[in-house]
């Protein structure tokens, strides 16, 4: 049954509260506004990347400086940052170990298309965390996903890809596919210039739906299933007990390569959900966090996949659609070594996860004391609230409960109280330098913003 949207707050009050927050933001950010007006002359829509106009504020917040779990905008306001560059800065802004390694490497050669010893350290460490023996490096997680899909096609001689409904894996053409009300594969909402109808390349299955997965793979023409082990980009949707076992079993039985994308789910622990839950992917992708903010992505593979790739690779691959001039470049490998070795360590996760638990408890206390029909979901060091009382089991159900206006209001109200949430979600991420006081600051801002809707 398709879920339908049920508003959980009074719309008139919401729209009045949103207008008040917009006015406050304008009053308090004259410099950001002036920069935005100037930017319109040289940047498309006044921003360096188009989605930056989609934040909740009436115009973008221009940043002056970021450090640790905070940043200051050009108007001099200091914010607690729970967005952390949507995971790109999960290590905190400018971790000193990463900065020191990057500064050192900048003087020793930024890029030269030749390996450095840091690459070996990174491959060994990723193997230890995720259990796969061989690794390759890219600039972004998007690239790591694109190359993994290409290699899976090459290794299997099959063409199709399976993804979860409402997934996000970066700007990878094959993944901009969703199910319509009749269960047909159509372009995802907002998909820009799809090269071909996605039904030609992709099958889509709802998260947690074992039967749909079985049907999608039964023709044995699917090269790879590319999944996040928990959905995080339509809000967090956790796997039901047994789902990962079934996914592994069906992919093995049908000779399909299982690619797990841990780019966001690394929040579950130092080895992501793969390490925490003992998952056994054939290939694994991760980007964003691992370079501490310096562009870096990677994909790993099992011995068997490596053998199949080697056996089928053409002689010359440098122009074969897998790679990139800066892929695996020295600066990014130095950043990965420092970030994984000294910042996003197992010990750091032991501090980050309890902070997310405290954030979850704070939001829960506001929800229950105000009797809001909402709930909070947490995955390790990441937590998020949703405008429905019980956790949905797939992406479509989750999307049906999204309330764009309410989300906009709560994000903007948080910004005006100097707290930054991840845009397009109600998500908060803890860094190794986030504090209990930061968490309390969010709880207070959240309580105040909800109360304004009930007054």
Ligand X SMILES: Cc1ncc(COP(=O)(O)O)c(C=O)c1O
CA–CA dist 351, 92 (Å, integer): 13
Closest approach of ligand X to the CB of residue 399, in Å? 16
Return the residue of 170, 272, 292, 362 that touches ligand X, per CB under 6 A.
170
Q: Considering the rule CB under 6 A, would residue 228 count as an interface residue with ligand X? A: yes
For residues 367 and 428, which CB has a smaller minimum distance to ligand X in the complex? 428
Question: What tokens appear for 190 in the block?
Answer: 């907002």
Binding flag, residue 287, ligand X (CB under 6 A)? yes
Please say which residue, 288 or 308, places its beta carbon nearer to ligand X: 288
Near ligand X in 320-359, by CB under 6 A: none
Token readout for 194 is: 């799809």
Indicate the residue among 140 and 274 with the shorter CB distance to ligand X: 140
Binding mask 202-221 for ligand X (x = CB under 6 A): --------------------
Tell me which stretch binds ligand X (CB under 6 A): 151-159, 167-175, 266-274, 318-326.
Answer: 167-175
Beta-bridged to residue 65, according to DSSP, are 72
Sign of the dihedral through C-alpha 36, 42, 45, 51: negative
Instruction: Point out which residues pair with 141 in neighbouring strands.
Output: none
Of 390, 132, 402, 148, the C-alpha closest to 275 is: 132
Instruction: Tell me the closest approach of the beta carbon of residue 251 to ligand X, in angstroms.
Output: 19
Q: Which is nearer to ligand X, 17 or 90 (by Cβ)?
A: 90
Spatial contact of 237 and 256, defined as CB atoms under 8 Å apart: no
When the beta carbons of 261 and 397 are compared against ligand X, the nearer one is: 261
Nearer to ligand X, 169 or 386 (CB): 169
- What would the two tokens of residue 19 be? 């207008």
Report in angstroms how near the CB of residue 401 gets to ligand X at its nearest.
20
For residue 436, the minimal CB distance to ligand X (Å) is 27
Counting contacts by CB under 6 A, is residue 235 touching ligand X? no
Helix (H) or strand (E) holding 375: strand 375-379
Candidate residues 70, 164, 288, 408; the one interacting with ligand X per rule CB under 6 A: 288
By CB under 6 A, tell whether 261 contacts ligand X: yes
Q: Which of residues 105-164 bind ligand X (CB under 6 A)?
A: 140-142, 145
Site for ligand X in 67-86 (CB under 6 A): 86
Question: How far apart are CB 185 and ligand X at their closest, in Å?
Answer: 20
Count of residues of this chain found to bind ligand X when the rule CB under 6 A is applied? 15
Please select the residue that binds ligand X; options are 70, 93, 153, 169, rule is CB under 6 A: 169
| 239 or 362: CB nearest ligand X | 239
Both structure tokens of 27: 């009053």
Q: Identify the H or E element spanning 232.
A: none
Q: Which residue in this structure is represented by tokens 């894996």?
A: 169
Burial class (CB in 10 A: 0-12, 13-18, 19+), 298: buried
**199 neighbors 184 (Cβ within 8 angstroms):** yes
CB nearer to ligand X: give 70 or 288: 288
224 binds ligand X (CB under 6 A): no
Angle at 60 between CA 58 and CA 62, to 5 degrees: 145
Nearest to 119 by CA among 339, 333, 335: 333
CB 167 within 8 A of CB 235: no
Contacts of 318 by beta carbon, 8 Å cutoff, 6+ apart: none
Which tokens in the block code for residue 417?
């109280």
Q: Is 254 or 332 the residue whose CB approaches ligand X more closely?
A: 332
Q: Which residues bind ligand X (CB under 6 A)?
A: 86, 140-142, 145, 168-170, 228, 233, 261, 263-264, 287-288
């Amino acid at each position: 049954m398709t879920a339908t949207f049920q508003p959980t707050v009074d719309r008139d009050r919401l729209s009045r509260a949103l207008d008040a927050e917009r006015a406050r933001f304008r009053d308090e950010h004259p410099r950001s506004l002036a920069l935005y007006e100037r930017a319109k002359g040289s940047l498309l829509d006044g921003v360096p990347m188009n989605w930056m106009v989609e934040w909740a504020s009436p115009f973008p917040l221009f940043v002056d400086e970021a450090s640790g779990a905070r940043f200051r905008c050009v108007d001099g306001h200091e914010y607690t940052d729970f967005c952390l560059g949507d995971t790109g800065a999960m290590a905190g802004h400018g971790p000193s170990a990463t900065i020191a390694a990057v500064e050192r490497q900048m003087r020793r050669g930024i890029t030269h298309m030749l390996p450095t010893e840091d690459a070996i350290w990174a491959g060994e460490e990723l193997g230890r965390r995720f259990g796969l023996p061989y690794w390759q490096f890219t600039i972004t997680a998007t690239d790591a996903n694109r190359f993994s899909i290409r290699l899976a096609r090459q290794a299997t001689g099959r063409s199709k890809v399976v993804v979860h409904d409402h997934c996000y894996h970066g700007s990878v053409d094959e993944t901009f596919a969703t199910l319509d009300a009749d269960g047909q594969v159509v372009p995802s909402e907002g998909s820009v210039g799809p090269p071909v109808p996605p039904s030609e390349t992709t099958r889509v299955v709802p998260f947690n739906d074992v039967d749909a997965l079985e049907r999608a793979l039964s023709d044995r023409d699917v090269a790879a299933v590319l999944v996040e082990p928990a959905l995080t980009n339509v809000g967090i949707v956790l796997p039901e007990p047994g789902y990962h076992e079934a996914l592994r079993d069906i992919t093995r039985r049908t000779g399909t390569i299982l690619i797990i994308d841990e780019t966001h789910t690394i929040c579950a622990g130092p080895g992501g959900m793969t390490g925490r839950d003992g998952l056994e992917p054939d290939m694994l992708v991760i980007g964003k966090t691992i370079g501490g903010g310096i562009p870096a992505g990677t994909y790993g593979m099992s011995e068997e996949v490596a053998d199949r790739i080697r056996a089928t690779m053409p002689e010359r691959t440098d122009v074969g659609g897998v790679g990139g001039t800066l892929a695996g470049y020295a600066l990014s490998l130095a950043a990965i070594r420092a970030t994984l070795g000294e910042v996003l360590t197992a010990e750091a996760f032991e501090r980050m996860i309890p902070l997310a638990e405290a954030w979850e408890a704070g939001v829960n206390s506001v929800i229950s004391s105000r009797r809001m029909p909402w709930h909070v979901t947490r995955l390790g060091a990441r937590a998020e609230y949703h405008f429905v009382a019980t956790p949905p089991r797939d992406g479509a159900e989750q999307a049906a409960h999204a309330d764009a206006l309410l989300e906009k209001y709560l994000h903007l109200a948080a910004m005006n109280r100097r707290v930054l949430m991840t845009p397009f979600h109600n998500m908060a991420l803890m860094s190794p330098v986030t504090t209990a006081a930061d968490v309390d600051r969010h709880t207070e801002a959240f309580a105040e913003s909800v109360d304004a809707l009930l007054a």
